Structure 1
Amino acid sequence: MSEMFSEEWMGKFMEEWNKEPDLSDALAKIGFNSVIAYGFDGDDAPKGYISIENGKATAAGAFDGQDINWDLRATPENWGKWMKKPPGMMGLGVAYTSRKLKFNVGDYSAMVKDPRMATPFIKSFTVMGRA
């Protein structure tokens, strides 16, 4: 297994993203476009990014200063835990309010209030576990 959020890992994540209809197809239905960065709490910059166009991942790799819409941070231990056992809506809320999952960029409240976005977001943790 490659290092979490590395160039190789993000490439595999992109492949898995596009194979998961509950993620890519669900986001395509709402015309979701974003660049999402992932990294570790306390680091200056994210480690990896994935670019989503109309629900489908079109690019991914090591973060290199891309303009981003979302920047998600957690400890390596928490990322690993959520990849093994993805949080539900309640677990996601607890992770956010306890600052175990940080949105350095992006609006958690707007996302979680829209089930068309929240449900695929939770599914993204399952897909991460396949990368």
Structure 2
Amino acid sequence: MSDLFSTQWMEQFKEAWNADEELTSSLAKINFNSIIGYGFKDSDRPTGFIEIVNGKAVNAGSYDGQTLNWDLRASRESWEKWLSQGLNMMGLSMAYMKRNIVFPVGDYGAMIKDPRMAGPFVKSFAVMGQVSTHSSVS
């Protein structure tokens, strides 16, 4: 087990991402390329990142100033809830409206209106849930 968004966790997320044929193939069809940061709302920068090229994760680790296309932030409690219980389109919309998830970088509105992107985005939360974590908070 590793801490959420640590280098080890992001590497495991990369492996889980690439193992999910539904996720990678749907993103490959739209030539999806992005560097996505993940982190916590109380931080001034993301904790981890994953780089996607034509739907496949090619790089992942600790965030170190990479130029991001997307930056997703939430509280540790929200992340842990979504990773254990999953997140569907309705839950994502509610989380966004309540500002439980924020996007310092990236156009949530455009993404959610495009089913070719919205479906894989929600699917990525299920893939995240496959990665073991432990909380650094006791």
- How far apart in 1 are the matches of 2:109 and 2:37? 18
SS of aligned partner of 2:9: helix
RMSD over aligned CA atoms reads 0.6
SS of aligned partner of 2:39: strand
1:57-86, CA deviations, whole angstroms, 9 ceiling, x for partnerless residues? 000000000010000000011001001112
Are 2:87 and 2:126, in contact at CA under 8 Å, matched by a contact in 1? no
Corresponding residue number in structure 2 for 1:66: 66
Corresponding residue number in structure 2 for 1:96: 96
How far has the Cα of 1:115 moved from its partner? 0.6
How far has the Cα of 1:13 moved from its partner? 0.1
Corresponding residue number in structure 2 for 1:39: 39
- How far apart in 1 are the matches of 2:47 and 2:67? 14
Letter in 1 for 2:93: G
- How far apart in 2 are the matches of 1:124 and 1:60? 14
How far has the Cα of 1:102 moved from its partner? 0.4
Corresponding residue number in structure 1 for 2:76: 76
How far has the Cα of 1:19 moved from its partner? 0.5
TM-score (norm 2): 0.93
TM-score (norm 1): 0.98
How far has the Cα of 1:22 moved from its partner? 1.9
Letter in 1 for 2:114: D
How far has the Cα of 1:23 moved from its partner? 1.1
Letter in 1 for 2:38: Y
Corresponding residue number in structure 2 for 1:28: 28
- How far apart in 2 are the matches of 1:22 and 1:45? 30
1:9-64, CA deviations, whole angstroms, 9 ceiling, x for partnerless residues? 00000000001112111100100000000000120110000000000000000000
Are 2:31 and 2:54, in contact at CA under 8 Å, matched by a contact in 1? yes
Percent identity between matched residues is 56
1:101-131, CA deviations, whole angstroms, 9 ceiling, x for partnerless residues? 1011000001000111000100111110112
- How far apart in 2 are the matches of 1:116 and 1:21? 15
- How far apart in 2 are the matches of 1:14 and 1:68? 16
